[in-house]
Amino acid sequence: MSSSSTLKSIEAAIEKIILDPRYHAPLTLVKGVRNGIVYGTKIRFPHALVMMFLFRSGTVRQKLRLVYKATRQHARNLALFALVYKSSLLLLKSSRPSAKEGHYDTFLAGLTGGYLVFGRTSHNPVTQQIVIYVFARVMLAMAKVAITPRGVEAVPGSGGGWGLLGDDSDGRRRRYVEKRAWTVFSSLSWACVMYLFRWHPENVQSSLRSSMHYIYVQSDHWDSLRNFILHNK
């Protein structure tokens, strides 16, 4: 048998396993870990590369090491969270006689993953950035849920909103809030971050502080045309 035939036989055997419904559940864990690693690497690597070479001092070797560490941390966090989250969902589902998903399974699984993967490493800047990003998205999403009337499903099976605006049968209040919510959110976010950067910079996340210092502080100083146009003083 030729080597190509052997490889095809191995490939066919592996494909038979991964397409077997009996192995689907555990293989979703493997796939989740794989996707977490790939996505974390794709998101963090270019960001870290730019930030390290723009705002960090040191040799090229030192900067590349920092890029690698940040990328590895991001990929590791997402991969581990996918593993814990999907494992928790499988355990919760299998613990019921009906073997069906519970309404709050995703909340409990997310709570478990959030604690084990993110909740115990508060001083890691990569971990903080991921959680803060998620928090901002959660606030925006919950604001939309809050003003959606009860029983009105934006997506079939979603369960509707919380109806915090009360009786809004004509939708006027919701349209009013929707029209102005992003304006208020973005305006207050920038107002707060600029205030903190000016008066409490030590409490602003390091990479954000570095980029803000580059834009808003270093732009106040130059002593030649060269460092006015080409680079900062």
Reported as a single tens digit per residue, the pLDDT across 189-205 is 999 999 999 999 999 98
Choice between 168 and 90, residue whose per-residue pLDDT is larger: 90
Write down the pLDDT at residue 124. 87
Average pLDDT for the chain? 88
Confidence (pTM): 0.79
The whole-angstrom separation of Cα 177 and Cα 172 is: 9
Q: Where are the domains of the chain?
A: 1-120
Q: What is the pLDDT of residue 206?
A: 83
pLDDT value of position 224:
86
Task: Look at 178 and 128; give whichever has higher pLDDT.
Answer: 128
| The token pair that represents 41 in the structure block | 């690497």
Of the candidates 31, 37, 136, 107, the one whose C-alpha atom is nearest the C-alpha of residue 77 is 37
Rounded CA separation 69/67 (Å):
6
Instruction: Write out the two tokens for 70.
Output: 């940040």
